[in-house]
Amino acid sequence: MFKFPTTAQKSQSGVTTRRLWASRPSNATLDLQFENISDTDTSAILAAYNQAKGPVDDLSLPTALFNGADSTLTTYLDTSVTGAGLIWSFAEDSPPTVQSIAPNRSTVNVKLAAELRMS
């Protein structure tokens, strides 16, 4: 989920040194699957992707997106609650995929990415 920005160097003698480059984690990903949703809801997801110009613009995620998570997990995912500085957007090179499963019913897969940004 979240990663701390680090690098590792191994010396010729085999000793490994790790360097932490920040005090907070970033580069989070979130894979979402919306099963058996209507064409209207599918269109809303695709419209959000187009409006955000793919991974370019930030997303304001609705709190309903985290309804299945308990309060502990929500604090990691919903950055509007934690103020962690992580900004969600659609993942680079990963547009939403749509699979039609029945008339007016689809399954949509979405991958989001969060970056640490300071304002």
Q: Please, are residues 92 and 71 in contact by the beta-carbon 8 Å criterion?
A: no
Compute the half-sphere exposure of residue 116: CA atoms within 13 Å on the CB side of its CA.
Answer: 13
- pTM score: 0.73
Cβ neighbors of 16 (< 8 A, separation 6 or more) are: 8, 9, 10
The full set of domain ranges for the chain reads 38-119
CA nearest to 32, candidates 56, 65, 69, 71:
65
Q: Please, are residues 105 and 34 in contact by the beta-carbon 8 Å criterion?
A: no
Per-residue pLDDT reduced to its tens digit, 19-36: 887 776 677 788 999 999
Tokens 């962690």 correspond to 84
Per-residue pLDDT reduced to its tens digit, 38-94: 999 999 999 999 999 999 998 887 777 777 888 877 776 766 555 566 788 999 989
Instruction: Give the residues across from 103 on adjacent strands.
Output: none
